[in-house]
Structure 1
């Protein structure tokens, strides 16, 4: 009888220990996300200091709604992709190219639409004339345009229109040219353009038009095939994000400055 009691106690202790260990493992296993480290206000900061619209959005979806702790990591963009590919981090938010889908699984839901919108001088002909994308694209050849070196979207957009445009190293140069009347229109990612306009204190001189270009990219969540977070996680993520969109919270988070969207 005593021997049976000892065995029962040992089995019970082992079960409690195993349960505690599994619970602890589940508790501390975070979902690690890679971001571009120099893409303010969307994401900015190196290592685990990254902040911005995307980190805040992912914390709201995964940490607050799904109950899974999130770790945000900032990298140079090429390094971010490699980190996802190797499984060093679990995911990133970007275009699901053929190459990226070789090492990652994609969510069905769009996490972040990078809305490219035209920026013009306040009070200019362009501000009052352009009411849709058609208005802009049909007058491309009679206007002066500017964009940033390395902007793949702009390169494809203007190539399709058979148009030349001024290429400069940074967006602040384009915006200053626009304010001074040296160019007529900039078509750029709205959150980035708005951030630069505020930093340059050009809010009165420049205006972002409420026209979203049809070819604006839409980014899902790409989860590494090396990640312990598999298809069940992605399905739960899609369901959670759908609820947030229906509630109107998602739109607020992607359009508000990080400090104001909480």
Structure 2
């Protein structure tokens, strides 16, 4: 009897605190990458996880959206299992895939008709943007690290759409934003003829990032193989095309 009790206690201790579906968490406000609407998550990353993990790997998963810092906190502290984001930046508390199902492509955008547009078309590095005023997103870690903390001239927007509205109103010269987000917003606002897409400033590869305390770390090799197949058969590209 005593032995049975000991075995039972060991089993309880070793079970994950969030036993059940593999819990993916995302930023809740970056369409078309990930966003929440009517208490449901939508977007490119959600579709990738559904196709790769739920459908092809046959693992039950759930999707939840939070402010980005909160989402990372949940995985770091074992309250959720996974993110799809840059893996190496989170190596202290997570393991990540080798394959990159998504690339966050930071492109430069400006108003068509900006008197300095010819100069902006030649820009290929951040340092070359010092003479210009840039629209940034308040709360963006990338904008803070690369632009605000390095004393670039910036004008802050409270949301992504305001970046482009302010460009059209000549409040700034340019903005740097992911190509998928930019194209989605430009189309939504009907600014296709007013905004010009310029050079890529940085590519940030995204990985499957699984917390070190999650039992789902074991699926990473299978996830890599699944993503390779999705790249080869075109299904990954179909997801991107859906949100153009």
TM over 0.5: yes
Structure with larger Rg: 1
Is 1:88 the equivalent of 2:74? Answer: no
- TM-score in terms of structure 1 length: 0.73
Taking the aligned partners of 1:226 and 1:128, their CA distance within structure 2 comes to: 51
SS at match of 1:203: coil
Measured after TM superposition, the shift of residue 160 of structure 1 is 8.2
- Kept after mapping to 2: 8 A contact 1:48/1:72: no
- TM-score in terms of structure 2 length: 0.78
Is 1:235 the equivalent of 2:218? Answer: no
Is 1:188 the equivalent of 2:140? Answer: no
More displaced 10-residue stretch of structure 1: 109-118 or 199-208: 199-208
Measured after TM superposition, the shift of residue 105 of structure 1 is 1.3
Is 1:220 the equivalent of 2:211? Answer: no
Taking the aligned partners of 2:70 and 2:242, their CA distance within structure 1 comes to: 28
- Kept after mapping to 1: 8 A contact 2:88/2:96: no
- Aligned residue for 1:203? 192
Structure 2 gap ranges (5+): 1-18
CA change 1:239–1:125 in 2 (3 A) is farther
How many aligned residue pairs are there? 226
Is 1:113 the equivalent of 2:103? Answer: yes
Higher share in helix: 1
CA change 1:152–1:38 in 2 (3 A) is same
Structure 1 gap ranges (5+): 1-27
- Kept after mapping to 2: 8 A contact 1:57/1:254: no
CA RMSD of aligned residues (A): 2.9
Higher share in strand: 2
Measured after TM superposition, the shift of residue 181 of structure 1 is 2.4
Measured after TM superposition, the shift of residue 34 of structure 1 is 0.8
